[in-house]
Amino acid sequence: MDLSPFPGPQTCENERLEAVFADPDSSWIGDNAYLDLLYRCKGEMPPAAMRVLIEQVRRAPVDRSSRLDDLAEGALGELADVENTLRRPFQQGHALANWLRRQVASAGGRIDPESLLGECGVAVRGLDFSTPRLDAVAFWAHGRQPAILWNASEKHQQNEGARRATLAHEICHLLVDRQDALPLAAVVGGAMERRLEQRANAFAAELLCPRQEAGAEYRRMHDVGAALNNLTRCFGVSTELASLQLARSGAVAEVDHQRQLEQSGPSGAFYPWGRQ
């Protein structure tokens, strides 16, 4: 594996990555191992964390679920149908999430991303990466079982809503971004594609808490605080995610209620009424 075109560390602790991958039992020697770093990854992965990741990739069993490949084929078809009319990444993410809901569940209701991943043959594990620089890693390699490793050393990953959002984000990558994913060498150097991350962010939010459901809850309560409490409880999401989805639903017209959503939503997020 030639790492020369990429910046960043070319060793893992005291071993070069080429030596780490020189495993005669690996069926994918000579192939690249493709990985994805979640959008909140902050810079290059430290060598110690890289060691944890590489060992997981090396030990991945030879196991491939046709369920994931079937869903990925359908998702790529859906993306091809909508990407000419829905140009912005968040629009594509919403469309893909709604498509997946139709495949696996009713349009509304709570979805468990970990159960969905298990049905698709994707391993999900929490590991202590001993770094605050990443939330999760998804990887897949030729003939090997895909996996999502979430960072158990990050405090917010102990929170159910944050962990569910992490897994939902990675589902998007596993469905439509495997062909565009970063090779391991680029991940080591901290390279990332913002467009794919924006699409996966919107996908995760819409999959976990559909805008239509958020708007309906607000119309029923006509109270931002009460609606958010119900949404976070029913859908297992954070207040920030529920606030953003309610804002994007188009149901909130009162200025005072819009300001409430801005205060409880993600800092610096775009709101459809264009007032920060």
The range of the structural domain enclosing residue 39 comes to 31-208
Same domain, residue pair 200 and 230: no
Residue 226, pLDDT score: 97
Contacts made by residues 227-236, CB under 8 angstroms, sequence distance 24+: 228/264, 232/161, 234/110, 235/110, 235/208, 235/209, 236/110, 236/160, 236/161, 236/164, 236/208
Residue 65, pLDDT score: 75
Tens-place pLDDT, residues 29-74:
444 455 544 333 455 667 677 777 777 877 788 777 788 989 999 9
Residue 142, pLDDT score: 63
For residue 248, is it within any domain? Answer: yes
Q: Cα 241 vs. chain centroid, distance in angstroms? A: 14
Task: Answer yes or no: is pLDDT of 140 > 50.
Answer: yes
Count of structural domains, the chain? 2
For residue 23, is it within any domain? Answer: no
Same domain, residue pair 185 and 229: no
Does an H or E element contain 93, and which? helix 89-104
152: left (phi over 0), alpha (psi -120 to 50) or beta: alpha
Three-state DSSP at 29 gives coil
Tens-place pLDDT, residues 148-171:
888 887 665 668 898 899 899 989
Same domain, residue pair 188 and 245: no
* Contact status, residue 212 vs residue 108, Cβ threshold 8 Å: yes
Same domain, residue pair 139 and 250: no
The arithmetic mean of pLDDT across residues 179-186, rounded, is: 54
Task: Specify the pTM.
Answer: 0.82
List the single range of 17-31, 50-64, 99-113, 203-217 with lowest mean pLDDT.
17-31
